Amino acid sequence: METTAETQATLLERARGGDEHAFGELVRAHHGELRAHCYRMLGSIQDAEDAVQNALLRAWRGLARFEERSTVRAWLYSIATNTALDVASHRSRRELPVGFGPAGSAADLYADPVTDPVWLEPCPPSWLDGAAGAAAPEAQYEQRESVELAFMVMLQQLPPLQRAALVLRDVLGFSAAEVSDQLGLSVAAANSALQRARAAARTGLPAQSQQVALRAIGAEGTARLARRYADALESGDADAVLSLLTADASWSMPPWPAWLHGPEVLRNWLITDPLTCRWRHVTTEANGQLAVGCYLPDGDTDRFVPAVIDVLTLAPAGDKITAVTAFVLLDEQDPAAVFASFGLPTELT
């Protein structure tokens, strides 16, 4: 239930008096969008979860110092942003294999996986539920657009302060004065960081977002494309898979750093590896993009268990796939829990 200004004032007064339940109610409405914000800043689900928890702990401990010069929401964003900046200062930027090194061959694909925290992690659709509609009219990017893989890669390539300025201003729609206050900078310094970030966004983002491509084919077209992709893999039909890909499509599989590019390379790999397996698939969404949960047999049984989340990047017309980013789940990640977070069944029979 949304809190009114009067209710919020009451909760704030009670929280300042030491009422933890009131504080929880005060921040509950903002938790989802703060989590999405920290994900944009850090590119990691776990790091974002930890950052939000640490930020809320800081807010609780510093509640007496909240002077109400800004809204509770802006104050919480300031704490969350600076908590994320602290984390980012001790972490390498998150990447995807396509930007990590040159394309390889199928023989390169299964070299030792890079399990250090260097890979961008996929974002469950539920993480955007609390952020929908949160941005001010001044925001330049849609909420789902701002977690697309291309957008996240661009953000991760920015210095953390520029990253924060761009997200706060152009994704969330805070004013220049609010951004400077949240980052502890002068308005001129905050605007300078923002302008550099905007210049990088202009050169680092595709001309069209995935949201435009998805709208171009509509819900029925999206479901049909996902089904054709799943059918091609499940039937072991390499030609059917390749017919869905553009000529310059890439296929990557983090945590493995190598990636594949080009029809012949992909064909050779498909027929000698993934298409020799029995697969089952369920459509979902990840990072605001079309995605498919991929299941493999559990031994010789008829039970299929979570294995991979394929995030599909579509061509501008939405009729072809330009990139498959296959996030391979390792045992230490608890694949069933990861699939559940994407609204996917934890097994198929």
Tell me the pLDDT band of 133, cut-offs 50, 70 and 90.
very low
CATH of the domain at 235: 3.10.450.50
Q: What is the pLDDT of residues 58-80, one digit of tens each?
A: 999 988 888 777 888 999 999 99
Q: What average pLDDT is seen over the chain?
A: 92
With respect to residue 331, please indicate whether it lies within any of the assigned structural domains.
yes
Percent of the chain scored above 90 by pLDDT?
Answer: 75
> Is position 200 within any domain?
no
- C-alpha atoms less than 13 angstroms from C-alpha of 325 in its C-beta half-sphere: 26
User: What is the structure's pLDDT at 132?
Assistant: 44
Identify whether 153 is part of a domain. Answer: no
The predicted structure's pLDDT at residue 303? 95
For residue 201, tell me if it sits in a domain: no
Is a pLDDT exceeding 50 seen at residue 149?
yes
**pLDDT digit string (tens) for 165-205?**
999 999 999 999 999 999 999 999 999 999 999 999 999 99
Is 128 within the bounds of a domain?
Answer: no
Asked whether 42 and 91 are in contact (CB, 8 A), the reply is yes
Which two tokens mark 43?
């590119």
What's the CA gap between 142 and 134, in Å, rounded?
10
- Cβ 325 vs Cβ 96: under 8 Å: yes
Pick 313 or 18 by higher pLDDT.
313
CATH number at residue 12: 1.10.1740.10
pTM of the model: 0.93
What pLDDT score was predicted for residue 50? 97
Query: Mapped to the 3 state alphabet, what secondary structure does the chain carry?
Result: CCCCHHHHHHHHHHHHCCCHHHHHHHHHHHHHHHHHHHHHHHCCHHHHHHHHHHHHHHHHHCHHHCCCCCCHHHHHHHHHHHHHHHHHCCCCCCECHHHHCCCCCHHHHCCCCCCCCCECCCCCCHHHHCCCCCCCCCCCCCCCHHHCHHHHHHHHHCCHHHHHHHHHHHHCCCCHHHHHHHHCCCHHHHHHHHHHHHHHHHHHCCCCCHHHHHHHHHHHHHHHHHHHHHHHHHCCCHHHHHHCEEEEEEEECCCCCCEEECHHHHHHHHHHCHHHCCCEEEEEEECCEEEEEEEEECCCCCCEEEEEEEEEEECCCCCCEEEEEEEECCHHHCHHHHHHHCCCCCCEC
Among 61, 91, 121, residue at a domain's last position: 91
Domain region containing 215 = 210-341
Please check whether residue 60 lies inside any domain of the structure.
Answer: yes
Among 56, 74, 91, residue at a domain's last position: 91
pLDDT: which is higher, 291 or 16: 291
Domain count, the chain: 2
Q: Is residue 114 part of a domain?
A: no
Which of the listed residues 91, 106, 123 is the one where a domain comes to its end? Answer: 91
Question: Who contacts 61 (Cβ-Cβ below 8 Å, separation ≥6)?
Answer: none
Q: Answer yes or no: is 229 within a domain.
A: yes
pLDDT of residue 233 exceeding 90: yes
Considering the chain, what percentage of its residues have pLDDT values greater than 70?
96
- Per-residue pLDDT band at 4 (split at 50, 70, 90): low
